[in-house]
Each structure stands twice: as structure tokens, then as C-alpha cells.
Structure 1
């Protein structure tokens, strides 16, 4: 539960300029920009905390990110400067994603062949494939198709058959190999960035509608009136119609249905006191299988293994129920590190983002044939009710910095054409 002094009661808020639905990276970005221009704001979230898909938990002295954990495109990521202003340490060391500690279960020759297959798939989609479906760019008989599928599950949270080529290529990672981390947690940074912003948490918004000269948000704790609203909930929530919006939002909500959330779950296991695992090492469970885990060894030197499960594999394990993901990870790690060693691992925590009722997944991808859905989702349709969030970003979707920037853009639109003009 968030214990910030900025927590307020719904009934205590009067004369709000902008109510912001969703207190994740986009909502925090919007709130910060509006507050810097002297506007009153209120963050509202169904979760009992700030951050949304950015969520840091603490296990002793360790800060563990259950959601986003990497400052991607760090040279232009606004969270970098926020972290610097807040005096947060940034780990700028190279990631271990491309490494395989001791070549366990994945010798050098196979690693080379697997990466060649992934590179060939990348070249094929850039050269043009018969359809917009990413799976059409690789022969299903390719011995390394499982590896390419696994990478897609980590990168996109989805399998190749569910992925639009045009959308995948629109993501702007060109010339950016700077992926940094925050030892104190990305989610913790998002929470700190919202310090002082009034918020009502654990509060579900049922609808946002026009009312008098502003908007009214109907919540399970009472109504909230404001001059304008920025809605930053996930595409899954928009597509499901969980929050009632005016008729003008039929088109963007339909677009949201073509931008479903993929799934990426994390699990953390504490290491025994004696081990020989390196700091910032990496393993992959079974490189010839799409349903496999990626294992980061001792991030920041913490005595943990960070397990990463994506796409169909993560979804199936969530469906199986409590303990399924932990058992899966233990089985894979036993094949790499030995069953005796794995029995000495203590399970710390894990995420299940698809089961989070107010989010229902991790990050968006466009379905084949619907790469234009992002533009349709982001297109303005109302002067007082705006949408923002990672799925609205044209080039930085799936990221916390992409979400933040769409929140700032929505705030700037309201600042440029203030709906409260003449109401001060």
C-alpha cells in the first residue's frame, strides 16, 4: 500500500484541472508536466500503489523489478535524467543477454547457428515477406525456429504468428545499444517521480464522460469532476470496455483490440551462500524450444537468479496456477545447474501480469495487418478526454520511456489548448 502523504479521499478533491486514470509511467509523465505548469492534477489507479507495470519489491537489501527493469535507448530515455536528478545510481555496464555462461546446454557452435537464424529472420522481414505475419519470414522446419520464437516471446511477449512485421520494424532501436539498469529499481523511480502528486489508489474508474463544462469520472469510491481527463489504462482494458468512454472513442478502442498485451513474467530465486555463479551472467533454458526461460545470474551482484518467461509459455504457466512457473524454472535450471544445486534455491517472488485485473498483460504488440492501429489509438478524438500509454507510442512502444513521453504529449496538448481557459 502507498503511504504517501499525497493520498487523498475522492470526496476531498474539488476544482481539479486534470484527472489522470492510471498511475503508471504515462500517468506520472502527464502529472509531472501539468504540475510543472501550475495545473492541479489527480492520479487515480485501481492498484494500491504507483507505477502500474513498473513495480519494485524489496527483499532484504535487494530491489527487484517485477515489471520493466531496463532503461532502453538510454541515450534518449527521459527516465535517465529523472534518475540523475533524484540521485539514483545507474548501472551503465553492458548487459549479459548475448552471453551464455560456460556454454551450459548451448555450445559455441550452436550459439553461432542460433544467432545466424535470428539474423536471417531479421533480414527476411526487412527484405519483405508475403504477409505482415512475422512467422512467414522463417521456415517452420528451421532447426532454430524454437530459438527465434523464444526471443520473440522475450522481446514482444508474443509468438511470431501473432506479430505484425511492420509494427515490429517500427520500434526505434536503431543505433541504440545502451540498455542500463537501476540497482534501486525502475518501479521505485517511477514512484519517486510522482512524489507530491495527489492520488487516490485502490480506486476503480467505471466511466469517463462529459459533464457541465468538464468531465466526470464515476469510480467505486464516488464521482470525481475535472476540467479534463487523461486515460492511460492498458489496451486490454480499453478493448474490453472496462472503462466507459464517450461514443467518439469507439475507433481508438477498436484499435486497442488489435494491440493486445503480450506477456512477460519474472521470478526471482535466492542463491545459497556457496556457489560459483558469476555476477551478471546469463543462461537460456533450452535453446531449441520456444517455451523456455531466460536466466539472468546475479544482477547487480545480488545473490539471485532472475528468471524471465515470455509469450505463450508464460501464459500457459499462469493458466496452470500457483506454483507452475516456479516448478518450470526449477526443472530447466536443474538441467543446467544440477538438481542438488537447484534444491538449495529459495523462491523469493514472481509476477503474473495477465492475472492483474487492472492491466492484464505486459506490453503491446500489433496483430498482423494492424500496424496502423497505434496511430488510430493515439489520434485525438476529444478536447477534454485524451488517451496515453506505451501502446500510443509510434516508435517506443513496450517501454516505460515510451509511455512517459505519451503522457507528456497528452499534457502538452491540454496546456496548448487549455479546457480550463476562462474557468480560473
Structure 2
């Protein structure tokens, strides 16, 4: 292990990959430390005998301007540009067209108020009309989009993302996580399964303590989640307390995925979708047979994802009940649990993706600031508009790398 690399990167997720890709072109020595036994962080494609499953990010949001689109195509990886089935309800099961139109109109009214007449409180719940009959639906969408209930979402933060995003959401059949992991430069010194325990400022260098020993780079890029920073998973010196405090204002929401294998029958159409129960904020959203694969992807956010974290054994039965209520009890014989994420219970991650608490949107700027020309911060939470995405994370890694190069005179 190089005990004195020029630059160390903490975290091998999309931000760490972005930073590494920029730094290796400079000729500097780069060491990357990742607590997990794999590359990718919250981008993770699990290879199963049935299909490659994205347990983390799965869609190239704003695909027309997403840098991962270009990276994939340059690597010869096909990008699927077909529209998603998210906004459809297969055969109107459980959510008739008239109800869908009413629910979507409620969301459109809320979105318009957030953009054009945000409440002085900056709290997303205060943009909901009093007595809104589709409040549970709005809370479910807030869980999918931000990982938390409207009471804990900044309207300024939400509006910044919504204004910048485009309508293009694309995919790579081989997996988004696999794409991210495959692009880590081979020339970096990579240490997976090696959490950084502490950061210290030592003379002109930075000292990182790991299970493999101490490393003293000239600069460090910290590309870990806000919950890890805020919770003290990595010990940091008191001059970095403002960054820890900023991270606490940008908590990770709760988002989890489950996958069922379709083992028989013909109840499920390829590339279709259903929302479980539009009147339950804990409901799952079900993407059926993506790319024709024999699986159902269950996406949970907010209260639904927290329920998975506190009672993992109850997650699949609850999802099965929702599907049976839509498709009939016979489907219980056609499905079996296949895989599930555990983001909230993964110590080096501890959640889904970041959102700003009411009144705290500017904490993203604070978290992105460098310290003393030696400590730089990256990660989706440091991006002003593309937070919560793998492309926002990647771009933040490029930005932090440029800052580090400038500080080192390169």
C-alpha cells in the first residue's frame, strides 16, 4: 500500500469513480478506499441466475444530458431510450383511469405551487391544499422522489431538482451499477473492504487511518454519504465540524428495492407497471418484467422503505399482498422472493439519497466547499440540482478533483 499517495479518495461510488477518472489523467498517484467489498456504492448491480438486478440506481435520469449515457456508449454499452412504464397502470387494475387523472392533477397543482408560489416555511407539506383527498398519494410520491415525507422536504431544494431535470429516463440492460463499477480506472490503487476510520490534519498532509494502516496523502476527496458524515462513522477533526453539520441538514431518505422472480403463469405483461395502493403512503410501485426479464421490481420510499428496514421479514409478504389485491390471489403461486436491498442497514451508507430539510437547501453549497486546500467533498448531496442521482454524484467527483488539482498546482 502506498503510504503517501498524492491524493486519496474515500468512497468508490459514482462520485469516487468520477474523481478517480479525472485524477488519473493528471499523472498523480491516487489511492481509493471503499468500506464495501465492491465498487459502486449506491450503484449496485446484483448478478443472479435470473437477471442482473439494480438494487440501487437503475435509471439514467435526464438521460439526454446524463454523462453516464456518453460513458456507456463510448464503452460499447447499449442505452435503452424507450419511455418507461411508470405513468401507466397495467389494465387499470386497482387504480382506474379517472382516479389516476385526479391524483395526478393533485400532484400537478402541488408541483405548480412549489415552483411558482412556495410557502414561506419552505416546507413541502405547506404547499398541499387543505383537505387534499390525495394526500396519501402525494406522500407516496414524495417517498419515491425524495425518500421522506413532505413534512421534511425543502420546497426550494425540490424545485431546483425539478427545474433542472428532463423528461428523458433511460436504462442500460446490463445494469447501471455494473456500468459505474466498470469505469473505475485500473491505474488507481484500489482498496475495497477498507473503511477509513479517521481523518486528521497532520502538518502539510492529511492522515487517514485504515485497518491496513495509516496513509498520508497531500489531499483527500471525501465521497461518502451525508448520513455517514453526520453520524461520525469517520472521525474528523473539529475544523471540519461545519461540514458534518451541513451533512446533517441533508439527510438520506429511505428507499429500498425488492425483487420477485416470476416462476410461472402468464399474469404479468412485459414492460408494464402498477402502483400498489394509491391511498397508502407506504405503498410500493411495481415495475413488471423489465426488458422482458422474469422479475418484478418493487420500489419503496419513505414510510414504506422504513418499514422494510425495521421489519425485513415482513417486506416480501406485504408486497405480495399488494400484488394479490391487484392481480388476484392466484399470483401467489407464480412469484418467489429473489433479492432485496438493505441500504438503511448498511453501515457505510445508511439510507437512500439526500434531500434538504426545510430551510436548509443552501447546505449543499456549504458541504461542497473545500477545506484548507487539503480536504475536498464530493457526492450527490453536494450537487446543487442533480442531487439524489448517480450523474450528480459523478459530476461532483469531477468538480472535487478539479479543486484538488488546482490546490496542488496541477
TM-score grouping bracket, smaller chain normalisation: over 0.9
Partner of 1:25: 14
Q: Give the whole-Å Cα distance in 2 for the aligned partners of 1:273 and 1:327.
A: 18
Identify the match of residue 209 of structure 1 among 200, 220, 230: 200
Q: Distance between the aligned counterparts of 1:207 and 1:175, measured in 2?
A: 36
CA–CA distance in structure 2, aligned partners of residues 130 and 173 of structure 1: 19
| Displacement of 1:273 | 3.2
Deviation at 1:140?
A: 5.3
Task: Tell me if the contact between 1:26 and 1:406 (Cα under 8 Å) persists in the aligned partners.
Answer: yes
- C-alpha separation between the residues in 1 aligned to 2:216 and 2:120? 51
Alignment of 1:149-228 (within 5 A): 149-174=139-164, 176-196=166-186, 197-228=188-219
Partners in 2 of 1:111 and 1:69 — Cα distance?
25
C-alpha contact 2:264 2:335 (8 A) present in aligned 1: no
Spell out, residue by residue over 1:155-194, the C-alpha distance to the aligned partner (whole angstroms, 9 max, x if none).
1111100101111111155461111011001110111001
Deviations for 1:55-94, whole angstroms, at most 9, x for unmatched residues? 0001125111000011011111111111011111111100
Q: Does 1:373 align with 2:347?
A: no
Runs of 5+ unmatched residues, structure 1: 1-11
SS in 2 for 1:354: coil
Distance 1:213 1:371 in 2: 33
User: Is the CA contact 1:267–1:308 (under 8 Å) kept in the aligned structure 2?
Assistant: yes
- Matches of residues 297-336 of structure 1 in structure 2 within 5 Å? 297-320=288-311, 322-336=312-326
| 1:124-150 Cα distance to aligned partner (Å, 9 max, x none) | 222222421101111353211111111
Aligned partners of 1:282 and 1:159: how far apart in 2?
23
Unmatched runs of 5 consecutive residues or more in structure 2: none
2:210 is the alignment partner of 1:230? no
Matched-pair contact (CA < 8 Å) for 1:271–1:346: yes
For residue 105 of structure 1, report the CA deviation from its aligned partner: 0.5
The whole-number CA distance in structure 2 between the counterparts of 1:386 and 1:52 is 18
Name the counterpart of 2:275: 284
**Cα pair 1:143 1:288 within 8 Å, conserved:** no
Per-residue deviation, 1:41: 0.8
Which range moved further: 270-279 or 33-42?
A: 270-279
Equivalent residues, number: 408
SS across alignment from 1:414: helix
Question: Is residue 237 of structure 2 the alignment partner of residue 253 of structure 1?
Answer: no
Q: Which residue pairs with 1:69 in the alignment?
A: 58
Secondary structure (helix, strand or coil) at the match of 2:64 reads helix
Residue 271 of structure 1: aligned partner: 262
SS of the residue corresponding to residue 16 of structure 1 reads coil
Q: Report if aligned partners of 1:318, 1:324 keep a CA contact under 8 Å in 2.
A: no
Q: Give the Cα–Cα distance (whole angstroms) in 2 for the partners of residues 261 and 86 of structure 1.
A: 31
CA distance in 2, matches of 1:379, 1:174: 22
Which residue in 1 is equivalent to 2:403? 413
Match status 1:358 vs 2:348: yes
CA distance in 1, matches of 2:55, 2:233: 24
Partners in 2 of 1:28 and 1:159 — Cα distance? Answer: 31
Deviation at 1:220, TM superposition (A): 1.9
> Once the 2 structures are TM-superposed, how far is the Cα of residue 402 of structure 1 from its aligned partner?
0.3
1:123 and 2:112 aligned: yes
Normalised by the length of structure 2, the TM-score is 0.96
- Of 125, 138, 141, the match for 2:131: 141
TM-score, normalisation: structure 1: 0.93
